[in-house]
Structure 1
Amino acid sequence: MSKIACSVYIVTLNCEAWLQKTLQSVQQFDEVIILDSGSTDHTYEIAHQFENVKIAHQDWLGYAAQKSLALAQCRNDWVLNLDGDEVLSEELQQEIVQVIQQDQLDALITPINDVFLGVPNSKHTKKHAKVRFFRKSKGQYDLANKVHENVVVTGESRRAEHDIYHYGESSIFVKVEKNNQYSNLKAAEKFQKGKSPSVAKLVLVMPMTFVKSYFIRRSCFNGWRGFVNSMINAFYAFLKEAKLFEQHMNRDNK
């Protein structure tokens, strides 16, 4: 079977838990570029098992900058970004092949199916979606984003019909730890952009985010996991605003 004329790029750090499944899901692609920022687990051993994978070290530059550098090393006109804890569905792979063959679009906005505590989202839950597959010449990263980096595409895109499965939120502990780290980065980003904290937002952001997550995005269909997930999402939103207050307080006390 001929390889899919598309480069996959991944940034990793200690991703052994899911990397095998990640790389198995893209074995049919022409090449996989991995930029690793210092793994001490079996990430390198797993990567070396796959003929289409190239792995190299790069000290951590930040999410957007690290992915931008990995993107620059891709040799194909079409590129696909995955994280080391994500798996490409077979259905989405076929959708990607069709887009390449038809050569009319410039990007797919891909739904991310978060497998929280080992269970995927209900089919009724509204999933987040990001540009993950695109023409290399039409996409670039906004380097001002410290976290939740996104590809900015100049061209025509549509929402993909099928999913990328995200397995990284394997426990409540892991999700809370990630949100604590991400909220530090988002608060610093807001502070550097000159945004001022808001008492009203500090008070309202948590209940409003819970309503959005649990009811509007329909996480309620995920049972007790959906309630827990929405509560953590709400607290994450609160942390970002609280830490922005902290940034301003620390500046004023200098």
Structure 2
Amino acid sequence: MRRPLSIIYTTFNEVDIIEPSLLSVAGWTDDLHVVDSFSTDGTAGLLAARSDVRLSQRKYSGPSDQKNWAIEQARHEWILLLDADEIVPPTLRSEIALLLDTPKLLDAYWIGRDNFFMGRRIHHSGWGNDRVVRLFHRDRARYNRKQVHEEIETAGLQVGHLKGRLQHYTFKSVDHFLDKTRRYARWKAMDQAATTPRIGLFHLLIKPIFRFFRQYVVQGGFRDGREGLIICTVVAYGVFLRYVYLLAERRESGK
């Protein structure tokens, strides 16, 4: 007998992108739960109007906290957790459905992601080998406490790999991409505050240059054309901005 599946989203202002993702999982589960952080763009209204969505609204204090709370609310033991900008292709959906029919499962599963930026799939630029743990047992997996690139803690878990891949449409607009870069820089500064010594040229110059070199040269960003150059440059700028935020916070607090 096939194990039932809960599908979880956490959202904030996703009205312009979430419908294709919801369409890709339509009719799959009787527990499609979306935890919204009081969106202001109509996302909550769109979700509330859907009979197949169980909508909760909860104050946002960080991605891991929001997702861990949502995991605890799942009605079924097995969970597929998605972002609003991700689509589950039919091949991946079929693979997960067949997996849930098998007698014995591991604790969690890695799923690869094909990332799309400005209308193009990005094969390199540090994004080519992207993978995330998104299918897991409710009672065995939780997210770590990182503000940026939070992940399921896999220590002590048996984790497998699926062949199918998510489609990740991470780009909405240039302004959205830059806003996201600034937001992640602020959050990353919080993550690294306790482990970062006095900030100097190494942090403000060498680390951003190294990040650009690693993603554009070593990881083949140049092979992604203009899009690769944009991604690698903005990511390097985000590293620079991370330490600017941290330096400013320390100056303001007198540290």
Length-normalised TM-score, structure 1: 0.88
1 CA distance for matches of 2:49 and 2:163? 31
Q: Which residue identity does 1:11 align to in structure 2?
A: T
The reply to whether residue 20 of structure 1 matches residue 19 of structure 2 is yes
Counterparts in 2 of 1:18-167, with a 5 A limit? 18-27=17-26, 28-48=28-48, 50-102=50-102, 103-122=104-123, 126-143=128-145, 145-153=146-154, 154-167=156-169
Structure 1 partner of 2:185? 183
Following TM superposition, by how much is the alpha carbon of 1:194 offset from its aligned partner in structure 2, in angstroms? 4.6
- 2:222 pairs with 209, 220, 223, which one? 220
1 CA distance for matches of 2:107 and 2:29? 18
Q: Which residue identity does 1:67 align to in structure 2?
A: K
Q: Which residue identity does 1:248 align to in structure 2?
A: R
The reply to whether residue 173 of structure 1 matches residue 172 of structure 2 is no
1 CA distance for matches of 2:45 and 2:2? 23
Structure 1 partner of 2:5? 6
2 CA distance for matches of 1:164 and 1:172? 23
2 CA distance for matches of 1:3 and 1:51? 23
Check 1:60–1:74 CA distance in 2 against 1; reply closer, same or farther (3 A cut).
Answer: same
1 CA distance for matches of 2:132 and 2:252? 34
1 CA distance for matches of 2:220 and 2:192? 28
Following TM superposition, by how much is the alpha carbon of 1:251 offset from its aligned partner in structure 2, in angstroms? 2.4
Deviates further, 40-49 or 174-183? 40-49
2 CA distance for matches of 1:3 and 1:53? 21
Structure 1 partner of 2:239? 237
Number of equivalent positions: 250
Contact 1:142 / 1:149 at 8 angstroms: preserved in 2? yes
Following TM superposition, by how much is the alpha carbon of 1:203 offset from its aligned partner in structure 2, in angstroms? 2.0
SS at match of 2:120: coil
Cα shift readout 1:33-89 (whole Å, capped 9, x = no counterpart): 111111233323432454431012111121111111111111111111111222122
Following TM superposition, by how much is the alpha carbon of 1:3 offset from its aligned partner in structure 2, in angstroms? 8.5
Q: Which residue identity does 1:5 align to in structure 2?
A: P
Q: What is the RMSD of the two structures over their aligned residues, measured on CA atoms?
A: 2.3
Contact 1:38 / 1:59 at 8 angstroms: preserved in 2? yes
1 CA distance for matches of 2:221 and 2:246? 28
Check 1:49–1:215 CA distance in 2 against 1; reply closer, same or farther (3 A cut).
Answer: farther
Cα shift readout 1:69-119 (whole Å, capped 9, x = no counterpart): 111111111111111222122222122223322333222222232221122
Contact 2:3 / 2:101 at 8 angstroms: preserved in 1? no
Length-normalised TM-score, structure 2: 0.88
Check 1:30–1:15 CA distance in 2 against 1; reply closer, same or farther (3 A cut).
Answer: same
Name structure 2 gaps, 5 residues minimum. Answer: none
Check 1:212–1:110 CA distance in 2 against 1; reply closer, same or farther (3 A cut).
Answer: farther
Structure 2 partner of 1:201? 203
1 CA distance for matches of 2:223 and 2:97? 32
